[in-house]
Amino acid sequence: MADDHAGRNLPPLSLHIPEPRFRPGDTVDFGHFEIPAADASSRPPIDAAAEAMRGHSYGLVRVLDEDDRAVGAWDPKLSPERLLRMLRHMALTRAFDERMYRAQRQGKTSFYMKCTGEEATCIPATHALDRGDMVFPSYRQQGVLIARDWSLVDMICQIYSNSGDRLKGRQMPIMYSAKEANFFSISGNLATQYPQAVGWAMASAAKGDTRIATAWCGEGSTAEGDFHSALTFASVYRAPVVLNVVNNQWAISSFSGFAGAEATTFAARAVGYGIAGLRVDGNDALAVYAATEWAAERARGNHGPTLIEHFTYRSEGHSTSDDPTKYRSADERTAWPLGDPIARLKAHVIAIGAWDEERHAAMDRELAEQVRAAGKQAEALGVLGDGMHQPFSTMFEDVFEEMPWHLREQSAQMHAERAVSGITAGGEK
Ligand SMILES: Cc1ncc(C[n+]2csc(CCOP(=O)(O)OP(=O)(O)O)c2C)c(N)n1
Ligand SMILES: [Mg+2]
């Protein structure tokens, strides 16, 4: 066949390869990032048509202004008691992260992930939900468990895969599961929690229940197919679900541009699916509370799902296995213009006269001691660095109510082979 383009002297096709603005050693300037005024965003009625909310997918819902005051239509007007409880949960999460990070460095566990700088993306959200609402978290939402006053000892036993670990050492450290806290098991397979949350929400509606579902994933994870099929189902059936995207701008060493951030916002994914989208200052605890409250009320009133993008910054490495100095400028953290979420909430409660530096310092000391004591209690039940604390045979249990023949066979074979190697059935070595 003749080549239609022959002789037309067209330029060769090429691809656009995204490149982050700053690399190690670069001077960081976030001047291109326009921050709207804290009172700039309107608060639509909870039954607003999705298309009327287009602007909210490209704007930035904010509440705390430059003088640390709560302003504008989104001010959730929380009591000082509620603000201080949120502040305490955020500070406890940071203290927990600090200690567990050090525990990993001391060889007590193999792996840990911090959420430093992102505490406001899930703790105020949890405060705005009902305790019965189901949470489908990613691996960086330890703050949800802490905001639901879950036992720190239980969390650390899981991190140490010790004899107190309810999950019997079968999950990677930090992949918690807490049914009583309505906190679904964390999976390392990115975005799987999105279809699960939408499915749970649809089942809740099908049963005529009143509980809604929520999910969190990172901005990088929005590139997964699961994210998109979940949004289709959520839109078609108007599932009662709140879908959170934590845009911390990094997916391990890949910057957000590889998930589409150069072309549009993550909240704007909602526009294509015909659902409500809100882009929120993820370091403003009051804005996150207000957005979640709005979306939860919308879902509970059968007005449909909401996609919330929390714009924030991953202050530290992706995990204890990562070294961010290799791929991004060290100045990004300090130059990030939306500040630190704990410092901002603290400044607000001080500005309204409900708190002061002395009480904050005393609280930090108390929380560090609470985490230390929980760590000691968990350590008494063993640490991962000392070897296995659960009998091998448990690895075949608990999936089926009655163990099927092929698992019985595999279990017997394992015990036989270990016996040949001179290892006892429950032995750890
Ligand atoms: C399906 C799948 N692909 C790849 C990975 C490896 N992986 C683990 S975390 C991660 C980065 C995710 O980044 P993001 O979604 O932005 O979340 P963040 O870590 O920033 O919270 C990748 C690629 C995985 N766990 N699952
Ligand atoms: Mg990310």
**CATH code at 146?**
3.40.50.970
Angle between helices 152-160 and 80-105 (to 10 degrees): 20
Residue 183 lies in a domain: yes
φ, ψ at 215 (rounded to 5°): -140, 155
Residue 216 lies in a domain: yes
370 shares a domain with 274: yes
**3-state class (DSSP) for residue 159:** helix
- Give the model's pLDDT for residue 98: 98
407 shares a domain with 280: no
Residue 113 lies in a domain: yes
Residue 45 lies in a domain: no
Residue 26 lies in a domain: no
CA of 365 to the centre of ligand 1 (A): 34
Round to whole Å and give the CA distance between 82 and 78.
6
- Give the model's pLDDT for residue 391: 87
404 shares a domain with 350: no
398 shares a domain with 348: no
**3-state class (DSSP) for residue 198:** helix
With a CB cutoff of 8 Å and minimum separation 6, the contacts of 103 are: 109, 112, 156, 159, 160, 375, 383
**261, 248 in Cβ contact below 8 A?**
no
pTM: 0.96
DSSP structure class, residue 121: G
Number of domains making up the chain: 2
Tens digit of each residue's pLDDT, the chain (429 residues):
556 666 789 999 999 999 999 999 999 999 999 999 999 999 999 999 999 999 999 999 999 999 999 999 999 999 999 999 999 999 999 999 999 999 999 999 999 999 999 999 999 999 999 999 999 999 999 999 999 999 999 999 999 999 999 999 999 999 999 999 999 999 999 999 999 999 999 999 999 999 999 999 999 999 999 999 999 999 999 999 999 999 999 999 999 999 999 999 999 999 999 999 999 999 999 999 999 999 999 999 999 999 999 999 999 999 999 999 999 999 999 999 999 999 999 999 999 999 999 999 999 999 999 999 999 999 999 999 998 898 888 888 988 999 999 999 999 999 999 888 876 544 444
- Give the model's pLDDT for residue 414: 92
Question: 218: which strand partners?
Answer: 246
CA of 259 to the centre of ligand 2 (A): 10
Residues, Cβ < 5 Å to ion ligand 2: 218-220, 248, 251
Question: 243: which strand partners?
Answer: 215, 307
Task: For residue 247, give the H/E element and its range.
Answer: strand 241-247
CA of 254 to the centre of ligand 1 (A): 10
- Taking the CA atoms of 419, 421, 422 and 424 in sequence, report the sign of the dihedral they define: negative
- Give the model's pLDDT for residue 425: 45
**Any ligand 1 atom below 6 A from CB of 218:** yes
255 shares a domain with 165: yes
136 shares a domain with 221: yes
Q: Which of 144, 401, 183, 174 is nearest to 292 (CA)?
A: 144
**Any ligand 1 atom below 6 A from CB of 251:** yes
228 shares a domain with 119: yes
Q: Which domain holds residue 400?
A: 391-420
Ligand 1 pocket: which of 189, 250, 252 to mutate (most atoms <8 Å of CB)?
A: 252
- Give the model's pLDDT for residue 429: 41
Residue 255 lies in a domain: yes
**Any ligand 1 atom below 6 A from CB of 255:** no
CA of 176 to the centre of ligand 1 (A): 17
CA of 146 to the centre of ligand 1 (A): 23
Round to whole Å and give the CA distance between 286 and 157.
32
**Any ligand 1 atom below 6 A from CB of 318:** yes
Q: For residue 297, how far is the Cα from the chain centroid?
A: 21
306-311 and 254-255 as β-strands: parallel, antiparallel, unpaired? unpaired
Atom 11 (ligand 1) nearest CA: 251
254-255 and 250-251 as β-strands: parallel, antiparallel, unpaired? antiparallel
**302, 210 in Cβ contact below 8 A?**
no
263 shares a domain with 346: yes
Neighbours of 421 (CB within 10 A): 6
Q: Match 């691996």 to its residue by tokens.
A: 139
Distances, alpha carbon 254 to alpha carbons 12, 140, 273, in Å: 27, 17, 26
- Give the model's pLDDT for residue 422: 77
407 shares a domain with 338: no
- The number of the ligand 1 atom at minimal distance from the alpha carbon of 139 is 21
166 shares a domain with 131: yes
**147, 216 in Cβ contact below 8 A?**
no
Task: For residue 281, give the H/E element and its range.
Answer: strand 276-281
Residue 192 lies in a domain: yes
306 shares a domain with 261: yes
77 shares a domain with 224: yes
- Give the model's pLDDT for residue 220: 98
Atom 13 (ligand 1) nearest CA: 251
Residue 20 lies in a domain: no
Round to whole Å and give the CA distance between 367 and 89.
10
- Give the model's pLDDT for residue 314: 98
Round to whole Å and give the CA distance between 138 and 334.
26
Q: For residue 125, how far is the Cα from the chain centroid?
A: 11
